[in-house]
Structure 1
Amino acid sequence: MIVLYTAIEFNGRKPFLEAGRREVGWWQLLAAGSRPLAARWRSARTMVKGAISILRRSDFARLVMPYARIILFCAIFVYVNCQKDKEEDFVCPEGTQGNGNFADPATCRRFYQCVDGYPYLNRCPSGLYFDDISKYCTFKAEARCGPISTTPAPITEAPLDLATKCDLSQCELPYCFCSKDGTLIPGGLEPDDTPQIIMLTFDGAVNLNNYELYKKVFSGKIKNPNGCPIRGTFFLSHEYSNYAMVQSLAHDGHEIATGTISQQQGLQDKGYEEWAGEMIGMREILKKFANVSRSEIVGARAPFLKPGRNTQFKVLEDFGYIYDSSVGVPPLPIPVWPYTLDYKIPHECKSGTCPTKSFPGLWEVPFNAHYVESFEGGHCPYLDQCVLHNHDSDEVLEWLQEDFNRYYEQNRAPYMMPFHTNWFQIKELEQGLHKFLRWAADLNDVWFVTVTQALTWITEPKPVKALNNYEAWRCDNRDLPGKPCNLSNKCALSFKHPDTNFTDTRYMETCSECPNQYPWLGDSGGTGISGKDNYIPDNLKRK
């Protein structure tokens, strides 16, 4: 920002008066974008106190101090009002219910977060740029600078066989679960008898950029009430993944689930073959190169939380998946429990591409929106998409605690904490998360489990006092994938992306033998024979 200033400087023995204008990076202190006005002034007061303490240490304090507060508060007043003018120049797009992140037309370093139709200007952390497709700040090489216009493809599916509203008389556990608004606790348990489940989930590739950061979360120091170390769920995408590291995570007891091979845009509008190629192909890659069996991979997540309407869920049903976790939920006062897709989803579909037909027995583990009452930081499905990079670790802890308590103090719906690597690139966010995990682990009715472990409990609910001996959440005698090799194969593989006319080299680590070329859509084994894959649905195999 540009601040008009008047300052007295000491030049040798003679003080002199200087006036002018100077660019000052106070956006970091003022938490410019996503905070309500009251929150900005709280940060501003902190800045004033710091500035005045510096002035008190100077040799000319007597000359400056009578005017210091006036000068600083005037500067802040000018800043906040200028910031407000900038925000009001941007108009939140229509058709989004006024919520979401949108690119700043002027620069990739900033973006607007629209909350209930009002735009808050935000700046990406140092070194990161806003990607208008994924809607979060990422590395420059990965960012697609916006605004990028998108035209939704017409929905061609005939509105036949639509799922009906929940019928409790026909929907019983363990095979079906629903409620009118999605907030009902399974088994009719009271909140105090219900364990507060926390599910740590991670999206994208696993490699040197994040592996050690993830391992710190699961160091073994934080344990569940039964003494077992906490575990998470990884929704893997293919490109840049290190499969020796993935195998190590699976061997440690973490759940491995599928994202997609290519993370392509617009997949929500593609057909059955494309979805099978992306998700079932990813499952085959994990089996071949990370030694994770098909039977252990039972969950999936669509890229960018854009479910593929009925097509994606038909693929999951046909190929024996147990659950999907791609459906976003708008900010609600009471969070939603996972539910089966026997009936119509019990909340608004944020993406507009949710399933409309019935898929009996297939579970949906929804993305409840993360937010606090003041909407400081905005609201977000992934935690790294809330604007918290201007907070210190204690403020991050307080933010997570308030968000968590909306679950813990009400209906105890599972608290899913979804992350991309971005969260762990900012020291204050990483430290705040570790503080939160230690704090939550001290609560004797909080359990950190994988998504599949959470669903196992939901299908057969047990009171919290009976969980220390609950077989599904024990950590001994588990059938885990084999221990990874000591020296993995570092494969330099040729790769020609379908959208390009040239061949480059991709590097992939695995404990298996190196394939002939980089695995991709239609050739999950990397044989070099394009279109070799032919996936047969499980229900046809049994015939």
Structure 2
Amino acid sequence: MFRIYLFLIVLVCQCVAIPLTKCQQGVNCFLPRCFCPTFDHPMNLSDIPQMVYFGFDDAVNSQMANHYDFLFLKDNLTNPNGCPISITLLVSDEFTDYSILKRYYQHGFELGVHSVTHTHINTGDKVREEAGDQRDNFVTQVGISKYDVVGWRSPFLITAGDQQIDALKQLGFKYDVSLIYTRPHIDNDDVWPFTLDYGWPFKCHNNRCPKQNHKGFWQVPINPLIDYTHEFTCAFVDGCAYKPRNEAEAYKYIMDNFYRHYNGNRSPFGLHIHAAWFETKHLRDGMNRAIHSMNELEDVYIVNIKQMIEWMKYPTKLSEIKTFDGLGCWPRDKAFLHILLMVLPVSSLFILVIALLVYVIRKLMFRSRHNDYIALNGKKHMNKLVHGSDDVEM
């Protein structure tokens, strides 16, 4: 009977411990390595910067560059900390002009991987091959360090589930931005980015979501937008069935979705998009107006995905954010730092060598001079020298 009671006690304890397998911030999940899925950030809303990020898919070429230059470069827009606004380019290989890509990287845009072939990549092996090969293209043709390439988006948002995350982690990637979060109601809050330490806890849009735990790997959910009629949702800016018919409607479409975040839970406002949408002039003009309107707000930062995740890992209050390195002026400052780090050791070694040479030369000169003098060893030697004796010991 005692054994039965003991068994029941152990069973109850195990049942009580089961909730601990659910992500609980500050209990079994700690920043910067882990962040639980949530609709409410622990920080006070008034202290949270509204981050806006763009994730552009597909090839980068002169046609698309016209739109990127017009929207993000021509007016030299900066965030409240004085650093240029930034975007993330999720790039596939075919039709990409890597010289243009290099220019954008040097300006401070983030480069993420969107595969080589832009096909259905639905196994871990395919993810590993496509992500690794396209990253290698960045390294060889752009001159970027492979450690700066940390993000992946699946073509057509067709994923490989847990195998995908395993493959990306093995390659050293830090985040995926391929999964859609579906709101229960059109006006509900959007979910914050989170780590997959406890898997994907929401309804799976394509039945290929990661069910296992992947410690420290960030999932940036695609929070659908609401179309300008406020009737339907769409994962991509250019994916809504009802497209804005003029600049005013395009502007309203973007700003209505922005204010859902800005006046809501302050979760990052993600604009997932194909630049071909801007081939229609009034759509590009509407987006341009929206970017300027958002940029005029002192608590709004237009950043790339990697920068946004840095803030997620190290949440910094608005009152202190202007000195937060994660949203700093990169890569200009970073490039300068790299040069400094490369130059300083060389210069230090050079100075050390010169100092040693000077020391050795002075030592040799001293010995040379010393050999020209007689060593006077005591009073006896002094007397012999004074009285003219020439048998003084040397």
Question: Which TM-score bucket, shorter chain as reference?
Answer: 0.7 to 0.9
**Identity of matched residues, %:** 28
CA distance in 2, matches of 1:459, 1:473: 12
CA distance in 2, matches of 1:480, 1:329: 39
- Tell me if 1:352 matches 2:207: yes
**Aligned residue in 1 for 2:263:** 409
CA distance in 1, matches of 2:117, 2:148: 22
C-alpha contact (below 8 Å) 1:372/1:402 kept by paired residues: no
**Aligned residue in 2 for 1:174:** 32
| 328, 337, 350: which one aligns with 2:192 | 337
**Aligned residue in 2 for 1:365:** 220
- Tell me if 1:288 matches 2:147: no
Q: Which amino acid in the other structure matches residue 290 of structure 1?
A: V
CA distance in 2, matches of 1:212, 1:372: 26
| 92, 101, 119: which one aligns with 1:237 | 92
Q: Secondary structure at the match of 1:321?
A: coil
Q: Secondary structure at the match of 1:218?
A: helix
Number of aligned pairs?
Answer: 312
State the Cα deviation string for residues 24-81 of structure 1 (Å, max 9, x = none): xxxxxxxxxxxxxxxxxxxxxxxxxxxxxxxxxxxxxxxxxxxxxxxxxxxxxxxxxx
**Aligned residue in 2 for 1:383:** 237
Considering fraction of residues, name the structure with more helix: 2
Q: Which amino acid in the other structure matches residue 354 of structure 1?
A: C
**Aligned residue in 2 for 1:273:** 125
CA distance in 2, matches of 1:208, 1:480: 29
- Tell me if 1:465 matches 2:319: yes
Q: RMSD value over aligned CA atoms? A: 2.0
C-alpha spacing 1:390/1:338, structure 2 compared with 1 (3 Å): closer
C-alpha spacing 1:299/1:481, structure 2 compared with 1 (3 Å): farther
State the Cα deviation string for residues 280-310 of structure 1 (Å, max 9, x = none): 1110111111212101101111111122111
C-alpha contact (below 8 Å) 1:184/1:411 kept by paired residues: yes
| 148, 160, 173: which one aligns with 1:308 | 160
Q: Secondary structure at the match of 1:202?
A: strand
C-alpha spacing 1:260/1:480, structure 2 compared with 1 (3 Å): farther
User: Cα distance, 1:388 vs. partner?
Assistant: 4.8
- Tell me if 1:211 matches 2:211: no
**Aligned residue in 1 for 2:176:** 324
User: Cα distance, 1:222 vs. partner?
Assistant: 2.1
User: Cα distance, 1:404 vs. partner?
Assistant: 1.2
C-alpha spacing 1:295/1:481, structure 2 compared with 1 (3 Å): farther
**Aligned residue in 1 for 2:250:** 396
**Aligned residue in 2 for 1:130:** none
C-alpha contact (below 8 Å) 1:291/1:481 kept by paired residues: no
State the Cα deviation string for residues 470-497 of structure 1 (Å, max 9, x = none): 2222215122899xxxxxxxxxxxxxxx
The gaps in structure 2 that reach 5 residues or longer are 1-19, 339-394
CA distance in 2, matches of 1:293, 1:464: 31
Q: Secondary structure at the match of 1:479?
A: helix
- Tell me if 1:432 matches 2:260: no
* TM-score normalised by length of structure 2: 0.76
Considering fraction of residues, name the structure with more strand: 1
CA distance in 1, matches of 2:157, 2:195: 18
Q: Secondary structure at the match of 1:477?
A: helix
Q: Which amino acid in the other structure matches residue 28 of structure 2?
A: Q
User: Cα distance, 1:274 vs. partner?
Assistant: 1.8
Q: Secondary structure at the match of 2:208?
A: coil
User: Cα distance, 1:229 vs. partner?
Assistant: 1.6
Q: Secondary structure at the match of 1:209?
A: helix
**Aligned residue in 1 for 2:39:** 183
**Aligned residue in 2 for 1:227:** 82
CA distance in 1, matches of 2:80, 2:234: 30
C-alpha spacing 1:424/1:311, structure 2 compared with 1 (3 Å): same
Q: Which amino acid in the other structure matches residue 440 of structure 1?
A: M
C-alpha contact (below 8 Å) 1:397/1:436 kept by paired residues: yes
Between structure 1 and structure 2, the one with the greater Rg is 2
Q: Which amino acid in the other structure matches residue 172 of structure 1?
A: F
CA distance in 1, matches of 2:210, 2:169: 12
CA distance in 1, matches of 2:76, 2:140: 32
C-alpha spacing 1:325/1:404, structure 2 compared with 1 (3 Å): same
User: Cα distance, 1:329 vs. partner?
Assistant: 1.0
Aligned runs of 1:416-455 on 2, under 5 Å? 416-455=270-309
User: Cα distance, 1:322 vs. partner?
Assistant: 0.9
State the Cα deviation string for residues 225-271 of structure 1 (Å, max 9, x = none): 11222110011101111111111110111100111011112x22x3x
CA distance in 2, matches of 1:456, 1:286: 22
C-alpha contact (below 8 Å) 1:205/1:238 kept by paired residues: yes
CA distance in 1, matches of 2:308, 2:46: 17
Q: Which amino acid in the other structure matches residue 330 of structure 1?
A: T
User: Cα distance, 1:208 vs. partner?
Assistant: 1.8
**Aligned residue in 2 for 1:256:** 111
Which one has more relative contact order, counting CA pairs under 8 Å at least 6 apart? 2
CA distance in 2, matches of 1:184, 1:288: 42
User: Cα distance, 1:200 vs. partner?
Assistant: 1.3
| 465, 474, 479: which one aligns with 2:335 | 479
CA distance in 2, matches of 1:236, 1:205: 5
Q: Secondary structure at the match of 1:234?
A: strand
User: Cα distance, 1:190 vs. partner?
Assistant: 1.1
State the Cα deviation string for residues 386-428 of structure 1 (Å, max 9, x = none): 1354421111111211111111111100001111122111111
C-alpha spacing 1:253/1:328, structure 2 compared with 1 (3 Å): same
CA distance in 2, matches of 1:389, 1:481: 45
Q: Secondary structure at the match of 1:478?
A: helix
